[in-house]
Chain A
Amino acid sequence: MELSERHRIYWNRNRGLTIALLLTWFGVTFSVPFFARSVTFTVLGWPFSFYMAAQGCLVIYLLLIYLYANRLRKLDREYGVDEAEDE
């Protein structure tokens, strides 16, 4: 079928969100190891970069995925492309 203007906007917004989240993902993943040696302070006993690589980044990844799933579910409904059989 021909896509409507709304369909195009939906895809653009999905793509925009995907790019923003990917940039965050890349920034976190790259900067923690890259600057690990210059960041020397500790938090609750952990050297900060060790904490980030062992746990902090992991939690950020989980949050990013949560954000994506939630935002897109709303986007699906807003633009009428959601699935009927989903609750």
Chain B
Amino acid sequence: MSALGQSNRAFFDQLKRYYRWYTWGLLLFVAMLWAMERFGLPRIWIGYTFMFTTIGLYAGIGIMSRTADVAEYYVAGRRVPAFFNGMATAADWMSAATFIGMAGTLYLQGFDGLAYVLGWTGGYCLVAFMIAPYLRKFGQFTIPDFLGARFGGNVARGIGIMAAIICSFVYVVAQIYGVGLITTRFTSVDFGYGVFLGLAGILVCSFLGGMRAVTWTQVAQCIILVIAYLVPVAWLGLKYTNSPLPQFSYGFVMERLAQREQQLMNDPKEIEVRDIFAKRAAAARARIDALPQSYDDGLVSARKAVDDLNEARAPIPEVRAAERVRDSYPASPDAARKAWAAEAATNAARAAPLMPHGEPFWSGNPDPVKAEAERNGKRANFLALVFSLMMGTAALPHILMRYYTTPTVNQARQSVFWSLAFILLVYCSAPALAVMVKYDIYTSIVGRHFSDLPAWISAWAHVDPSLLSVVDINHDGIVQLSEIKLGPDIVVLATPEIAGLPYVITGLVAAGGLAAALSTADGLLLTISNALSHDLYYKMINSSASTQRRVTISKFLLLLVALVAAYVTSLKPGDILQMVALAFSLAASSFFPALVLGVFWKRANRAGAVSGMLAGFLTCVYYIGTRFPFFQGLFGLNAADWPLWFGIQPISSGVFGVPVGFLVLIVISLFGGPPDPETSRMVDFLRYPNLKATASRET
């Protein structure tokens, strides 16, 4: 073992010691708060304590890791051991959406939701086999760096910068949005303040210490988020599987859930409620068909209702309700068409029969021929989504950047293993959690009297009706399954209370969600500001800039990007949240072919890479721009004029973009000559962890 190996070893032992103490400290902190809760500490204070303690902790790590050294700032000095880089990558990877929303998506979509589970884990195989070790050997700072060096010239680098910024920016806005939501829900501060609180939490880390501070904070955040996810799951497991590890035994809960589903499917009361929804949907459609006459009629009757109630001296709340109906009446027949179409769709969705949780690609269509076609379409989309997400995983710059930080190529390979290992702790638990919560709701909520619902239902319905609403549709005083409407986030948020855990665990879950959002946001902000400062400014504009100046500019840009992102978030752009999944397809189409062939095919040349990246990117942008509902609305396109290719949804446009990218890269490369000998030597350099004769060693 060399001297360097020895010092790495000592560093590793020291880190293990620190983080072991940290974990014990965290558990002690939770225990103390729990004791204080029993002595009557109000809930709101538990929320505040968790929020400020954890953000203060991240700030502390950020300040301790402050640096102005280039290698420390961009790649944490390249001495992050495989194990800890795995933890940091896992935290970087698991976003607010994963932590809070994944189990809920699985609850709502059953088998079909597993596309996310498969896609967001299997991508690490691609990272491990084709990307991480070679990037580490390359040993520079960013993904555009690699493209610029391998393919030469600034064009490849420039396209890389553009794609990296587009993907990361959409993503970072969604994270800051998540921070705002979590702080609002748990401390009841205003959304705007929540966003700025989160922003402060993000900036104290990345601003002072760049990658170095972000790395050590992400490790701390990984520990919090894994504990926060697993504790409630273990408790719920004890309740339903008699084991704190339900990940291994929830199959039996699934079996009982399937039996309960059978019962509910044919329950006459359920059918009654669904019929009411079907009638409401039909009524909305009838009003659309009778436009424009129905618009005037509706307006008249809405006004008349208020007048009648006023005349009859009805109770104030009833009058107010009628006034609300009148005031929110659509402003024009066109607006009415839109609003009623939405109303018809919502009601029709709730009139649909019950979906069996374990059934792949289920369809509620009563016509067997149509149902079969729908199910095949769903299968194709499932596969397309899985592959898009996987290739996107292997192309998102904020993840790949992490593999620059290990001491060696070998540790980069091991580090992918540890990344996935920590990710699986959460990803194997989410489906179990979804099944157990579903079983709980199907058996202990459905069939109860409205007068005796558990407290968490009204508490969460009060916080946000889109999270959870239970309304007696058929006025029989008993909860039917069809009367419950869930938003995906509620599953994780309410689990501690469903499991009968003290409120302090709910606070821990909030802190976990916050950690997930902040850690991802940190990585993304760093990616954007590095693309601007290192790639655009240093490599393309002013290559004589001093190292001091480069780090200063990077910090300044980081601040700027963070402020812009927070500003965009404060506008509450609901549409941008839907676009996050699009970032995967976009990243896959732009980067994946060039990254893979750059290492595995020496013949790939500049013209091929540039046109391949552009072709992949543009294919993806074109498909999304013409097929994604938000953009159709933006550009005034009629959905019927733009049929889907093979019925594939725009969220999976990577399945078109990636093959186009590969094809164009290969064909154009073959038309041009082979790259110069120097590039060829560089590819050799990448392929061997250590070409001993080349004495120069990366530091």
- A81-B125 in contact (CB<8A): no
- A69-B122 in contact (CB<8A): no
B interface footprint on A47-60 (CB within 8 Å = 1, 0 otherwise): 10111011101110
Contacts of A83 in B (CB 8 A): 408-410, 689-690
Which of A43, A47, A85 is the one whose CB lies under 8 Å from B2? Answer: A85
- B251-A21 in contact (CB<8A): no
- B125-A65 in contact (CB<8A): yes
- The complex places the Cα of A22 from the Cα of B387 at a distance, in Å, of 13
Interface segment, one of B24-32, B412-420, B657-665: B412-420
Q: How far is the CB of A76 from chain B (nearest CB, A)?
A: 5
- B420-A65 in contact (CB<8A): yes
Which of A22, A59, A81 is the one whose CB lies under 8 Å from B688? Answer: A81
Instruction: Enumerate 29 A-B pairs (CB-CB under 8 Å) in ascending A order.
Output: A1-B694, A11-B688, A18-B130, A29-B118, A32-B118, A33-B379, A36-B361, A45-B253, A46-B251, A47-B358, A50-B358, A54-B114, A57-B118, A57-B122, A61-B121, A61-B122, A61-B124, A65-B417, A66-B417, A68-B413, A69-B410, A69-B414, A69-B416, A76-B410, A80-B692, A82-B689, A83-B408, A83-B689, A87-B1
Contacts of A64 in B (CB 8 A): 125, 128
B631 within 8 A of A: no
Instruction: Contacts A29-B122, A82-B410 given; indicate if A37 touches B361 (C-beta within 8 A).
Output: yes
- The complex places the Cα of A83 from the Cα of B136 at a distance, in Å, of 12
Instruction: Contacts A45-B255, A69-B416 given; indicate if A34 touches B8 (C-beta within 8 A).
Output: no
B445-497: which have CB < 8 Å to A? none
Q: How far is the CB of A26 from chain B (nearest CB, A)?
A: 9
Contacts of B427 in A (CB 8 A): 58
B247 within 8 A of A: yes
Q: How far is the CB of B203 from chain A (nearest CB, A)?
A: 34
Q: How far is the CB of A71 from chain B (nearest CB, A)?
A: 10
- B416-A65 in contact (CB<8A): yes
Instruction: Contacts A29-B118, A83-B690 given; indicate if A69 touches B383 (C-beta within 8 A).
Output: no
Query: When A and B form their complex, which 10 residue pairs have the shortest distance between CB atoms, in order from nearest?
Result: A45-B251, A46-B251, A36-B360, A69-B413, A54-B431, A53-B114, A85-B4, A45-B255, A45-B252, A44-B251
Q: How far is the CB of B359 from chain A (nearest CB, A)?
A: 8
B693 within 8 A of A: yes
- A36-B684 in contact (CB<8A): no
A interface footprint on B51-63 (CB within 8 Å = 1, 0 otherwise): 0000000000000
A30 within 8 A of B: yes
A interface footprint on B360-404 (CB within 8 Å = 1, 0 otherwise): 110000000000000100010011001100100000000000000
- The complex places the Cα of A64 from the Cα of B390 at a distance, in Å, of 15
B239 within 8 A of A: no
- The complex places the Cα of A62 from the Cα of B424 at a distance, in Å, of 9
- The complex places the Cα of A15 from the Cα of B694 at a distance, in Å, of 22
- The complex places the Cα of A53 from the Cα of B358 at a distance, in Å, of 11
Q: How far is the CB of B655 from chain A (nearest CB, A)?
A: 12
Contacts of A65 in B (CB 8 A): 124-125, 128, 416-417, 420
Instruction: Contacts A45-B252, A68-B129 given; indicate if A50 touches B114 (C-beta within 8 A).
Output: yes
- The complex places the Cα of A72 from the Cα of B130 at a distance, in Å, of 13
B155 within 8 A of A: no
- A86-B420 in contact (CB<8A): no
- B251-A68 in contact (CB<8A): no
- A15-B424 in contact (CB<8A): no
Give the residue name and chain of the A residue nearest to B382 (CB): A33
Which of A34, A44, A73, A81 is the one whose CB lies under 8 Å from B249? Answer: A44
* Most chain A beta-carbon contacts within 10 A, residue among B9, B125, B249, B684: B125
- A25-B125 in contact (CB<8A): yes
B196 within 8 A of A: no
B421 within 8 A of A: yes
Which of B117, B250, B254, B417 is the one whose CB lies under 8 Å from A69? Answer: B417
Contacts of A32 in B (CB 8 A): 118
- The complex places the Cα of A71 from the Cα of B532 at a distance, in Å, of 38
- The complex places the Cα of A22 from the Cα of B129 at a distance, in Å, of 8
Contacts of A72 in B (CB 8 A): 133, 410, 413
B interface footprint on A1-31 (CB within 8 Å = 1, 0 otherwise): 1010001001100110010011001000110
- A50-B125 in contact (CB<8A): no
- The complex places the Cα of A68 from the Cα of B117 at a distance, in Å, of 22
Contacts of A49 in B (CB 8 A): 111, 360
- The complex places the Cα of A51 from the Cα of B114 at a distance, in Å, of 10
Give the residue name and chain of the B residue nearest to A4 (CB): B693
Contacts of A61 in B (CB 8 A): 121-122, 124-125, 420
Q: How far is the CB of B473 from chain A (nearest CB, A)?
A: 31
- The complex places the Cα of A33 from the Cα of B125 at a distance, in Å, of 18
B321 within 8 A of A: no
